[in-house]
Amino acid sequence: MTAALLVGSLAGLGLFLLGLALHPPRARLARRLAAFDAARRGANGHWTGGHDAPAADPRWRLGSWLARLCAEQGWEFSSLRKNLSLAGVPFEIFLATKVLLAVLGFVLGPTLGLVAGLLGFHISVWIQVWLGLLLGAVFSFLPDLEIKQKAAKRRRDFRHAIGSFLDLFAMNLAGGRGVPEALMTASDAGTGWAFWRIRDALASARITGQTPWHALGALGEEVGIDELRDLSAALSLVAEDGAKVRESLVARAESLRRRELTDLEGQAGERSQSMLVAQLMLCAGFLLFLVFPVVGLLGV
């Protein structure tokens, strides 16, 4: 029965692929619009987080096909794209890795069943299939967890860099520079990947004819940093009044530092609680180690 189901499934899949090869679907409007948007994003000079993989890379080709499929269905994954932009991972590579890990988990289930059969343990075929599905689902979520953790760490670093950037910007304004020149000078004075992103956004704005605050707002929208969007809105309102800009920048920098200090205190409190729980568990294990021989001798 199982062999017949497998043969029938393979035959149906082969007929389906043959039909697609003989009568390929026409490119829909959603696909053409997605290709146009991708080309426009690639031509505006924005930093993508890394170098493009060569077209001959199978993982890149698989990811490109999956990205086009998602664009056709209207799946934007806005929050995921922001995390990927911060983590420096292309969307195509992420999709390909996710699918390949899911396939690996699905294949691993029957493989474990085969190994168990060789060792003398009989496991049903349906159990092996369900185990493969479970492992595939678990493996497919591993890239999401990794990207989310990396993006959260980089987002904290980015906010820390924004505080320094605001201080440098205010100092340049106090020195008599205009808002665009002060922004560019402040970004050139800093080091690190966060300042690199800000420099890239400002340089792209200069080339494309956009205002610097609009570029900062677009960068904040791309990476999901509210502070950059707020700074863009403030600069667009008071760009002509340098005194008000300096006062706002100093207040924002102080607010960022207080927020960062509060977050650090909260993290320190959580780690202290974790250490306390670990110490209590160690004491409980030590007491159990002392009491167990006594209980054995008394025959309780």
Q: What is the dihedral of CA 205, 206, 207, 211, to 10 degrees?
A: 50
pLDDT in tens, the chain (300 residues): 555 665 666 677 667 666 655 565 555 555 566 555 655 554 333 444 444 545 556 778 888 888 888 877 777 788 888 888 888 888 888 988 898 888 888 888 888 888 888 877 777 878 888 888 888 889 889 999 989 988 888 888 888 888 888 878 878 877 777 777 888 888 888 777 888 888 888 888 888 888 888 888 888 888 888 878 877 877 777 655 555 666 667 777 777 777 777 777 777 777 787 788 888 888 888 888 877 777 766 665
Closest CA to 102 of 75, 69, 52, 66: 66
User: How do the domains of the chain map onto residue ranges?
Assistant: 155-260
Give the number of C-alpha atoms closer than 13 A to the C-alpha of residue 245, restricted to the C-beta side.
28
Q: Which residues contact 86 (CB under 8 A, 6 or more apart)?
A: 49, 150, 151, 154, 155, 158, 223, 224
53 φ/ψ sector (left φ>0, alpha ψ -120 to 50, else beta): beta
Nearest Cα to 93, choosing from 61, 116, 120? 61
- Taking the C-alpha atoms of residue 168 and residue 252, their distance in angstroms, rounded to an integer, is 13
- pTM, entire model: 0.64
